[in-house]
Amino acid sequence: MFFILLFVSIISFLTARQFLKAKRLPPGPFSLPLIGNAHQVGYQLWRTGGVTNMLNHFRKEYGDIFTLWLGPIPHVNITNYELSHEVFVKNSTKYADKHVSPMIDYVRKGNGVFFSNGDKWQELRRFSMLTMRNMGMGRDLMEEKILSELDARCAEINEKSIDGTTVLQVNEFFDLTVGSIINNMLLGFRFDERTKSRFLTMKHMFDEGMDKMTPLFFTLPVWALQKFLAKDFNSIIKDQFEIIDYVSVDAIKRSRDFMNGDYEIDPNNVEDIVDAFLLKMKQNPKSDVYDENNLKMLITDLWITGQETTTTTLVSAFIQFLNNPQVMDTVQKELIKVTNGGSRQLSLRDKTETPYLNATIAEVQRHASILNINFWRINNEPTVIGGHPVDSGCLIASQLSALHTNEKIFENPEKFNPERFIRNENLMQQTIPFGIGKRSCLGESLARAELYLIIGNLLLRYNFESSGKMPSTRETVPFGFAKRCEAFDMKVTKI
């Protein structure tokens, strides 16, 4: 009897404490001690068929800001633009620290720019943005590099064509195009026939790892992953280290050659990010920021974020074009008019003259919304968001996948409809695929330039049709951490 009373007392105490904690947070489903809302989240994932649908279920029930407890930790989810702006722009300093999951810390040890905090993050972000700006990001030089790579890839298409038509493996084409642009910026070389096989092997390994990653891997402690999800955990960790080694092998070799005097850098003519970082290492020999560990992770961060998000968005764009040929036709007519009958290439200077292309790219990004679950920030002090108390110690994120499918903002959100952005220009501001605030994507200007120039100039040069089965607009791993597109071929005919 004593043990029964003790058990009941403990459960009652934990439940009461949980209830009091929940009162200091935005609304959400009733949570249990220890497991939180894990059972409800799991059920809604199964019932609705995916992470985004699960988030939208709770949004519709509890509002645009709601709390889900994953184990003993409350996670506050924001699903509209105004609240996201209030938190991550107006109060950007307060929410600048990113939550680093145990699995990520196991691999990265606090290095790199994407999952670091404090002075290290600020210095590496400052270095990255300044270096990319000096290399021409957002200026004519960056446009020239993007178009040069696109010209090279289009030349390969034309060489393989018969009577002006060829079949293109879409995912591989955009992987190589975007991969070469980012690799040229990082290391000064593109992927050609000699080097592309190694790159595509690594990219396939990365894709497989992404398919295995569910939000659980960013929540559970390492010991739990090793015990209950050992096979997938060990596979993901192995792939992560191999990807880091692959991406950084040339940078590390160059670093050691530079330190040994076998590689020279002209400080007045720095050609890529690795060279810029090596100069910083030489200037700051005792720095814990400018060292080889951070070089490896910084290159990996910039490569993965620059490669994966843009490639996935481009693949998504052409899936939508094949499924909505009237949109593709309207874009092409606009581009032909702007470029004097297609007599010249599309330039970034043409942006003000291409409202329909701009709207189409925004709609592609809204649908693509790469992350099903966004990365969490740490709330270090009690505050108020949207009229709701938010206690210290919780995690908070703007869930872009749910924000971009919020029917109160985007009418009929499942429909691909660029005209919505022309009818209501305010929707452009509320579409935030790169995030907002201090931790928004530092390669945003490069990515926007790539999307505009690659999509626009491909539609100027070719007509596109499906080859075989029409690719689906549905994501292939709806329960995963990030959205994935199916691999497909399309028929390309020169105009």
- Residues in binding site: 441
Q: What is the pLDDT of residue 12?
A: 67
Each residue's pLDDT tens digit, 329-346? 999 999 999 999 999 999
pTM for this predicted structure: 0.95
- Residues in binding site for heme: 441
Give the mean pLDDT of 264-272. Answer: 93
Give the mean pLDDT of 118-143. Answer: 90
Q: What is the pLDDT of residue 66?
A: 98
Each residue's pLDDT tens digit, 184-241? 999 999 999 899 998 998 888 888 888 888 888 888 899 999 999 899 999 999 989 9
Each residue's pLDDT tens digit, 19-52? 778 889 999 999 988 899 999 999 999 999 999 9
Q: What is the pLDDT of residue 382?
A: 92
- Angstrom CA distances, 178 to 36, 70, 147, 318, 450, stand at 41, 36, 11, 15, 8
The mean pLDDT of the chain is 93
Largest CA distance in the chain: 89
Give residues with Cβ within 8 angstroms of 40, minimum separation 6: 29
Instruction: Give the whole-angstrom CA distance, residue 116 versus residue 105.
Output: 9
Instruction: Give the whole-angstrom CA distance, residue 233 versus residue 231.
Output: 6
- Strands 383-385 and 388-390 turn out to be antiparallel
- Angstrom CA distances, 356 to 148, 350, 363, 380, stand at 25, 12, 10, 43
Alpha helices (runs of H) in 78-139, residue ranges in sequence order? 81-85, 102-108, 118-134
Each residue's pLDDT tens digit, 305-338? 999 999 999 999 999 999 999 999 999 999 999 9
Each residue's pLDDT tens digit, 341-360? 999 999 999 999 999 999 99
CATH architecture of the domain with range 2-494: Orthogonal Bundle (1.10)
Q: What is the pLDDT of residue 201?
A: 87
Give the CA dihedral 86, 92, 97, 103, nearest 10 degrees: 50
Q: What is the pLDDT of residue 397?
A: 98
Number of H helices, E strands in the chain: 19, 9
